Structure 1
Amino acid sequence: MSDGFATRAIHAGQQPDPATGSVITPIHATSTYAQDGVGQQRAGYEYSRTGNPTRTALAECLASLEGGRHGHAFASGMSATDAVLRAALRPGDHLVIPDDAYGGTFRLIDKVLSGWGVEYTPVPVSDVDAVRAAIRPNTKMLWIETPTNPLLNIADLSTLAQLSHDTGTRLAVDNTFASPHLQQPLEHGAGVVVHSTTKYLGGHSDVVGGAVVTSDDELAEQVGFLQNSAGAVPGPFDAWLTLRGLKTLAVRMERHSRNAERVVEALENHPKVSHVIYPGLEQHPAHQVAAKQMRHFGGMVSFLHADGPEAALEMCARTRLFTLAESLGGVESLIEHPGRMTHASTEGSLLQVPAELVRLSVGIEEADDLVEDLRTALG
């Protein structure tokens, strides 16, 4: 019998140190490694841009949690995203992206890769027919977020994986919002998974990182080559912090999800909220799909302020426990205005988000305290 998720999060890639017996993976703070002779490396390490034992432990754990054969730990989520896109695409190629994609991903594709000759089409990822219609003869990749950031739309991973297979494209899934505890895209047929490990995987808002996991041997080799060539590697302390965060991922995601459900219930009954967006709500248009492919519905909640954009901005500045800040997935609760913050790069584009939208990253504090904080800030 294979070990369960929480067990692998604590033990995968993290055997006791053979030299000292340390039960926690050491921080290998070194740039280079002594060789026993020219080309005679000890344990396969020669230079820490190419490989570091602390980073290797993290990569192995990440691969285990996502159910993939190969894992790569990156310096940031965007460097992981960039590596996958550059490994899979060439000038003249086309990809499909969500019409509410993360602002940083959109900026990379629209402002950087498009200048390299890559074309893209934004579509609603919950509409399989729209995704199918957007595929061209030169389409090489379907880049999917589910849930999407920040509108929490849901893509049917199994259906899109079949579409990807039928059309000869590659399905890449940004699994940051769900985390591998709630959802494992490779299990549904995706070709590669990307994370900002800064978020739920690290879980404590104290480290920036990214990850790529795949079972595609060729893609893994290309991603590894690009990482070594361009140097987007996390330092050993960053890798160690992320590895430490992974150990509590399962219990944290359970609490994030339970707290989010309490927050959603309070927001739904508040007169200052015109619409709550959460995959766990039965009225969410893709609730059944989310229920099929997710263990729980996660800690991210978005809503529209009934009094409009200015009221949304003012509300974001009035919370006490929800800290006004970008990012998400930490133990502490965060609040932000996507249109002015994380998704400002989408202004004026097809991906522009509603100006009255507020996004919450619900932490693991006492749920009653979080609900009271939002009620007070809403007035």
Structure 2
Amino acid sequence: MSSRHGDSTRSVKAVSSPAIPGQPVTPPAVLASTYYLSADETSGLDAYGRNSNATWRQVESAVAALEGATSAVVFSSGMAAISAALRGLTGPGSALVVPSDGYYQVRRFVAEHLAPAGVAVIEASSSQIYDAAAGADVVLAETPTNPALDVVDVQRLATICHSRGARLIVDNTAATPFGQCPLSLGADLVVASATKGLSGQSDLLAGYVATNQPELAAAVERQRLLAGAILGGFEAWLLLRSLGSAGLRFERQCLNAQAVAMRLARHPAVRTVRYPGLVEDPAHPVAVAQMRRFGALVSFELADAAAVQAFVEGSELLIASTSFGGIHTSVDRRARWGDPVAAGFARLSLGIEDTDDLVADIERGLTAAR
């Protein structure tokens, strides 16, 4: 897809059907578990729903176009995608680096399933990951990190990994392909939860892996086939429907995040704010170099858990929920999930509300939290 197009144009073009007269502009959902078989066993036609699905292929084509990849593989969730990528690239005796300051379920997965299988697991923060990569076969980086919003220098990390033949996987969930394209910075694989910003409706679970290396795509697809972590045909269609507006939604979410982060940084009730788009944020220099937009997440700290609760209750627009990337602005107090953060640390996921309305509502919530 032409790089001269903007994000909303890219989104619309990615989900459009070929211009064939008499055919629907938007691809229909294919809901089938079994198909009529061809006498030619090498035909490559669909045969069974766990192996392939026409709607998957539409979604995979769209995701690959947005990520700047030659291929993508969709899964039933972001964790299904990440776990398939890690299983496909590691084995007994290999060394794997995972983020110590990233999504906590990833650490649980590798500790409970890969380490007992003989994979040496190394946990490293976003600042330590460059040194840790020097002794690894596979490195998983999350950038921006969840929930602290530190930014990893993907190009620097890719150079370190490739200098010793290691593979680099980048979790692009928070940034989305509208914020950054890790493959263009040297990553071997991109993994993401499409449940978040790409879906944006808070009504489905999905994930994907994208790459420009056919052998890696084949290894990941094999994991999906054997584990059966497939995306249902209807869910694939829902995701395809959502992708058409993803660029437009993300643009508004990032605009809202920047405005809210600036307001939070000036408010006396707020102890700290993290957002890569703030000039004073420690992650800003790296973010400016590799990101086109800074994302929909803002993290900040209030006095304590009670202050976060008062903040939510004092608002008219904010909802208390976990996950992120939806059209509604949500607040998640991360200590409740076991993240190593202060009791008053909260992660905002900015929605698509009008910016002025949202900033005024945040102000009301902060007044209640004081």
TM-score by length of 1: 0.91
CA deviations over 1:30-77 (Å, ceiling 9, x no partner): 111112426275x62111111100110000111111111110010000
Which among 318, 324, 338 is matched to residue 322 of structure 1? Answer: 318
Does structure 1 retain, via aligned residues, the 8 Å contact 2:77–2:207? yes
CA deviations over 1:248-282 (Å, ceiling 9, x no partner): 12111111111111111221121110111000111
Partner of 1:123: 124
Q: Kindly report which structure 2 residues correspond to 1:364-379, keeping only aligned pairs within 5 A, or say none.
A: 364-378=352-366, 379=368
* SS of match in other structure, 1:21: coil
Residue 311 (str. 1) matches residue 313 (str. 2):
no
Partner of 1:76: 77
Displacement of 1:312 after TM fit? 2.7
Higher mean C-alpha displacement, 275-284 vs 98-107: 98-107
* SS of match in other structure, 2:247: helix
Partner of 1:155: 152
Partner of 1:363: 351
Displacement of 1:131 after TM fit? 2.5
Stretches of structure 1 that go unaligned for 5 or more consecutive residues are: 347-351
Give the fraction of aligned pairs with identical amino acids, expressed as a percent: 38
Instruction: Specify the code of the residue in structure 2 equivalent to 1:49.
Output: R
Distance 1:7 1:242, change over 3 A: same
Q: Kindly report which structure 2 residues correspond to 1:239-258, keeping only aligned pairs within 5 A, or say none.
A: 239-258=236-255
Does structure 2 retain, via aligned residues, the 8 Å contact 1:17–1:25? no
Q: What is the alpha-carbon distance in structure 1 between the residues aligned to residue 305 and residue 36 of structure 2? A: 59
Partner of 2:2: 2
Instruction: Specify the code of the residue in structure 1 equivalent to 2:347.
Output: R
Q: What is the alpha-carbon distance in structure 1 between the residues aligned to residue 279 and residue 153 of structure 2? A: 16
Does structure 1 retain, via aligned residues, the 8 Å contact 2:15–2:240? no
Residue 26 (str. 1) matches residue 24 (str. 2):
no
Displacement of 1:171 after TM fit? 0.8
* SS of match in other structure, 1:302: strand
Residue 202 (str. 1) matches residue 199 (str. 2):
yes
Q: What is the alpha-carbon distance in structure 2 between the residues aligned to residue 255 and residue 136 of structure 1? A: 39
Does structure 2 retain, via aligned residues, the 8 Å contact 1:303–1:358? yes
Distance 1:38 1:44, change over 3 A: closer
Q: Kindly report which structure 2 residues correspond to 1:131-170, keeping only aligned pairs within 5 A, or say none.
A: 131-135=129-133, 137=135, 139-170=136-167
Displacement of 1:354 after TM fit? 2.6
* SS of match in other structure, 1:340: helix
Q: What is the alpha-carbon distance in structure 2 between the residues aligned to residue 225 and residue 95 of structure 1? A: 20
Partner of 1:349: none
Does structure 2 retain, via aligned residues, the 8 Å contact 1:146–1:173? yes
Does structure 1 retain, via aligned residues, the 8 Å contact 2:133–2:160? no
Instruction: Specify the code of the residue in structure 1 equivalent to 2:131.
Output: A
* SS of match in other structure, 2:178: helix
* SS of match in other structure, 2:12: helix
Displacement of 1:232 after TM fit? 0.7
Q: Kindly report which structure 2 residues correspond to 1:58-137, keeping only aligned pairs within 5 A, or say none.
A: 58-125=59-126, 127=127, 130-135=128-133, 137=135
TM-score by length of 2: 0.93
Displacement of 1:340 after TM fit? 0.5
* SS of match in other structure, 1:183: coil
* SS of match in other structure, 2:295: coil
Q: CA RMSD in A?
A: 2.0
Instruction: Specify the code of the residue in structure 2 equivalent to 1:105.
Output: V
* SS of match in other structure, 1:59: helix
Displacement of 1:231 after TM fit? 0.9
Distance 1:95 1:317, change over 3 A: farther
Which among 337, 342, 353 is matched to residue 354 of structure 1? Answer: 342
